[in-house]
Amino acid sequence: MNHSLPNIKDLTRTGLADVIKGFGEPAYRASQLHQWLFSHRSLRFDDISILSLALRGKLSSLYAIRQATVAECLQESGSGQQLPTTKFLVTMPDGQTVESVLIASENRITACISSQAGCPLDCTFCATGRMGFRRNLSPGEITDQVYLLNDYLLDRYERSKTLTNIVFMGMGEPLLNTVNVLDAIDTLTNQRYRFSFSGKKITISTVGLVPEIVRLGRQGSRTKLAVSLHSAIQEKRESLMPVAKQYPLAELKQALAEYNRATGQPVTLVYMLLRGVNDRPEDARELVKFARALFCKINLIDYNAIVNINFDPVYTAEREVFMRSLLDSGLLVTVRKSHGASIDAACGQLAAGGGPRITEEPHQYSNRL
Residue among 33, 64, 26 at smallest CA distance from 49: 33
Sheet with 363-366: list strands edge to edge: 69-76, 85-91, 97-104, 109-112, 165-168, 202-206, 224-228, 267-273, 296-302, 332-335, 363-366
H-helix or E-strand spanning residue 238: helix 234-240
Is residue 112 among the annotated active site residues? no
Element (H, E) at 234: helix 234-240
DSSP H/E element including 273: strand 267-273
| C-beta separation of 299 from 271 below 8 A | yes
Q: Whole-angstrom distance between the N-terminal and C-terminal Cα of the chain? A: 58
Number of H helices, E strands in the chain: 10, 13
The active-site residue out of 119, 126, 296, 347 is 347
The bridge status of strand 165-168 relative to strand 202-206 is parallel
Distances (CA, A) of 257 to 90, 158, 207, 291: 37, 45, 16, 10
Amino acid (1-letter code) at residue 237:
R
Amino acid of residue 163: L
Q: What is the distance between the alpha carbons of residues 183 and 96, in angstroms, rounded to a whole number?
A: 21
H-run or E-run covering 147: helix 139-156
| 99 catalytic residue (yes or no) | yes
Which residue in the list 76, 99, 173, 360 is annotated as catalytic? Answer: 99
- DSSP state letters, 311-357: --BPPHHHHHHHHHHHHTTT-EEEE--B--GGGT-STT--SSS----
| Helix %, strand %, coil % of the chain (to 5) | 35, 20, 40
List active site positions: 99, 347
